[in-house]
Amino acid sequence: MRVRARTREWEPSVQSPVPAGVPFRRTFIYPHRSFRRLPLTSGRIALGLTAAFLLSLTFWFFAGHLLDLHQATVGHLLAWTGIPMRGWTQLVLSSWLPSTSTPLIPIPDMVEVEQGLWLAFLGLMLGLLYLHHRFPLLRTLVFFCIVLLLASAGSVVLRPDARLDSASFTKLWLRSEYLVWLVLPWISALMFVVFQPRAITGVLWIAGLQAYAVVFSALRLALCLGILHYSGTLFVPLLWFVFGLLAIVTLLLVAYSVSLAAAVDRRWGRRRAWQG
Amino acid sequence: MGKAARMAGIVVAAALAVLTITSAVLLVYALRHTSFALWRLSAAPQSDPSELAGFRLPHLTVFVPMHNEEAVAEDILHALLECDYDWDRLQILAINDASSDGTQAIIDSFRSDFDVIQSVTLAGEPHGKAAALLQAQPYASGDIYLVFDADYLPGRSLLKMLVAPFADPHVGAVMGRVVPHNTGGSILASLLSLERASGYQTVQQSRQDLFGLAQFGGTVGGVRASALAAAGGWKADALTEDTDLTCRLLIGGWRIAYVNRAECYEEVPERWPARERQLERWVMGHTDCLHRYWRGVLSSPFLTRFQKADALLMLGAYWTAPAIVCAWLSTLVLFFGGQETLIAAAPIAALLTGFQLFANQATFLELGTAALLDGSRNRALLLPLTLLNFFASTGAICRALVRFYVRRWQGAGPGGWNKTERSRPAPLFQTGADGGRGGELLVREARGLYRPVRDKRLWVMGRRRGE
């Protein structure tokens, strides 16, 4: 005969197995780490998926407002930092995204900035080579940046007539970022909701990260447009990689690690220094 | 259409094809690793073989291969002596693989004090771990063989926990959990500690639970003597004898058990060159196993379809690094492919971005799961820095794969064995003025290493020869 027993999982963050007022030195002896687990309830999964769905839906339906808000922030930042604007132009992103306006930034021809630009290029290359030599752990990342720079320089030398204006760069940026905004809630749901002691904390992390991703994107785009204004198109690929993909992944990881550290504290209690 | 335009079109189409294929490959791995992380986080371990620890004590031989290990040899032998295994059923085989330092003197000193320790000395050039094990095997008398690298520090009950799963006759090999102790040595050591935690706490446990396919790691583990014989013994030419044996055991229908509770401390590389050499050996050995055994895995009657798929994904794991590099290069081609391509390719590049995020996120989810279950708050805060490790490892793996395939094309073997550099400055267990090797009380220092406090003699003193 098989006997099935239903037991409730103990939640260290919300309940103590010892009655209040009992003077125990420890309220609970934690299970060894090899046996620990954090049960995923169907309610929690549903909450994470619902939050991700609602956020994606919001970003889909209010795309026009969000893009306008994003672009207005970029405009304010450029005006605040004194980057000259030649006006605004309407930008058609794609057939499935609403159009938005974007500031037009004068980007100099390679001839206009040639000497200073190549000096900056040389300085950057030397800096990257130093990093490559000095920090072995950074080598592959730095090598990739060097390849990007060299490819970009080759492109500029071989096709000096090819130009990228600020509107085209913004178009490229927004199409990539918008996809990230649509995907991000689902990734966040997986990363933040499953392990937080309280599910609502996970949902707040998702929403907060999503909001910050928009602001962060505006900041990065304004920075890239500023650099484009002073340096022309030579650094476009590097900017796109470093301030695009790499920045998003880094943002996600920083948020993940901070929320994880807080979750560890709440789950198992903060450890003393000698506990490692 | 001009010839140049046609060529440009072909290059862009090829880049798109590469991008699609690599994204698909990365997605498969992303799904696999996300499943592992979620499973480990939420599901209770299916079985816990360590519950049987101490109930059955088979005759046991512990192999300790050493090549120039004078900094760590004393510690591993001392730790093994302190284990609570019945000495009448224990044989410790210290293998000196052509050391040119004081390793042999340390082994001789222990052998003269303790009957349970025997030594095998290999002369000439270093043979490598697999060859050393093969040559020492005729001297082994146990039914179960356990293997420890010389830099490991087994705890007192570890041997009992590791032999417990062999109570199941289907189990051919066992693997314990490796925990780095020099995490304070450098940032790299801390990152590798996080990586090890993910590899054992999350991946090994999940693979054990989901597919019954844990991987024998060549140290902190062991194999049943009869299973080893049935699988063809140690292969002297294998760079990663552990993966090689894992494949042969699985193809032959043996199970490999993972005991998450059986933790053993090890030393991870603190410097990148040492890590790169270690990674190179793993990549070349692992990929060599892929070429040797993929047909055997597919045709094995003992493995289910899911097990076969998982085993092949495990063997091909290092191919994800060139896949990522190919994806990067394709994105570059699309980026420089011209204005029209640039705008048109943006969504595809962004899709790749999504996949990359997803793939990386799966890895990071595993790392996070391990840090959370281990209760390692500080390690969790290191997660953003793992990006550096990710980039560095991608480059190192690609270089190792290129070297492997060049050697293969030239008809050479997978390459020579190289020993991982040790960073322990001196033995942790110091021999006292009276020559006694009392087990001292260990105190943890800032770098994560343990230092002994003298005059705290443990029970091992009473078990010296003639006392």
Q: What's the pLDDT tens digit per position in B15-26?
A: 888 888 888 888
Q: Is A167 within 8 Å of chain B by CB?
A: no
Cα A80 to Cα A77, A101, B38, B410, distances in angstroms: 5, 18, 46, 62
Mean pLDDT of the residues in chain A: 82
Q: What is the pLDDT of residue B337?
A: 63
Report the candidate in B244, B196, B201, B202 with the shortest Cα–Cα distance to residue B223: B244
Q: What's the pLDDT tens digit per position in B80-138?
A: 998 989 899 999 999 998 888 889 999 999 998 888 999 999 888 777 888 899 999 99
Q: What's the pLDDT tens digit per position in A136-186?
A: 888 888 988 898 888 888 877 777 766 778 898 898 888 888 888 888 898
Q: What is the pLDDT of residue B72?
A: 87
Mean pLDDT of the residues in chain B: 83
Q: What is the pLDDT of residue B458?
A: 42
Q: What is the pLDDT of residue B391?
A: 87
Q: Is B386 within 8 Å of chain A by CB?
A: yes
For residues B141-152, give the mean pLDDT. 93
- Encoded tokens for B313: 């994904």
Q: What's the pLDDT tens digit per position in B444-453?
A: 455 455 555 5
For residues A21-50, give the mean pLDDT. 77
pLDDT at residue A224 greater than cutoff 50? yes
Question: Which residues on neighbouring strands pair with residue B224, listed in sequence order?
Answer: B144
pLDDT at residue B457 greater than cutoff 50? no
Q: Is A150 within 8 Å of chain B by CB?
A: no
Residue type, A215: V
Among A172, A194, A257, whose Cβ lies nearest the Cβ of B38? A194
Interface of B with A in 236-295 (CB under 8 A): 260-261, 263, 271-273, 276
Report CA Rg, chain A.
25
B309/B248 Cα distance (integer angstroms): 16
Interface test with B, best of A249, A252, A274, A275 (most B CBs within 10 A): A249
Report for A132-136, B238-242, B269-273, B301-305: range of highest mean pLDDT: B301-305
What percent of the residues of chain B are helix, what percent strand, and what percent coil, each to the nearest 5?
55, 15, 30
Q: Is A134 within 8 Å of chain B by CB?
A: no
Evaluate if pTM is beyond 0.90. Answer: no
Using CA coordinates, name the residue in chain A closest to B200: A34
Q: What's the pLDDT tens digit per position in B91-104?
A: 999 999 888 888 99
ipTM above 0.90, yes or no: no
Q: Terminal CA-to-CA distance of chain B, rounded, Å?
A: 94
Cα B321 to Cα A20, A77, B28, B81, B391, distances in angstroms: 54, 39, 14, 42, 9
Q: Which residue did the predictor score with more confidence, B277 or B20?
A: B277
Contact: B380, A33; criterion CB under 8 Å: no
pLDDT at residue B454 greater than cutoff 50? no
Q: How confident is residue A73, by pLDDT bands cut at 50, 70 and 90?
A: very high
Interface test with A, best of B264, B272, B383 (most A CBs within 10 A): B383
Segments in B237-338 forming alpha helices (H): 241-251, 272-299, 305-315, 320-335
Interface of A with B in 175-204 (CB under 8 A): 175-177, 179-180, 183, 187, 190-191, 194-195
In sequence order, what are the residues at sequence separation of 6 or more whose Cβ sits closer than 8 angstroms to the Cβ of residue B320? B25, B26, B29, B359
Q: Is A129 within 8 Å of chain B by CB?
A: no
Report the candidate in A239, A215, A247 with the shortest Cα–Cα distance to residue A145: A239
Q: What is the pLDDT of residue B410?
A: 84
For residues B147-165, give the mean pLDDT. 92
For residues A251-276, give the mean pLDDT. 78
Using CA coordinates, name the residue in chain A closest to B377: A261
Q: What is the pLDDT of residue A34?
A: 86
Backbone dihedral angles phi then psi of residue B466, each to the nearest 5 degrees: 80, 5
Tell me the residue length of chain B.
Answer: 467
Q: Is B458 within 8 Å of chain A by CB?
A: no
On whether the CB atoms of residues B436 and B461 are closer than 8 A, the answer is: yes
Place of tokens 């006694």: B436
B71/B426 Cα distance (integer angstroms): 5
In chain B, what percentage of residues exceed pLDDT 90? 44
Question: DSSP labels for A170-210?
Answer: HHHHHHHHHHHHHHHHHHHIIIIITT-SSHHHHHHHHHHHH
Q: Is A223 within 8 Å of chain B by CB?
A: no
For residues B56-61, give the mean pLDDT. 92
Interface of A with B in 20-49 (CB under 8 A): 30, 32-40
| Longest CA–CA separation in chain B, Å | 94
B202/B7 Cα distance (integer angstroms): 47
Q: What is the pLDDT of residue A50?
A: 94
Q: Is B443 within 8 Å of chain A by CB?
A: no
CA B16 to chain centre: 36
Q: Which residue did the predictor score with more confidence, B418 or A223?
A: A223
Q: What's the pLDDT tens digit per position in B391-401?
A: 889 889 999 99
Q: What is the pLDDT of residue B22?
A: 85
DSSP A87: -
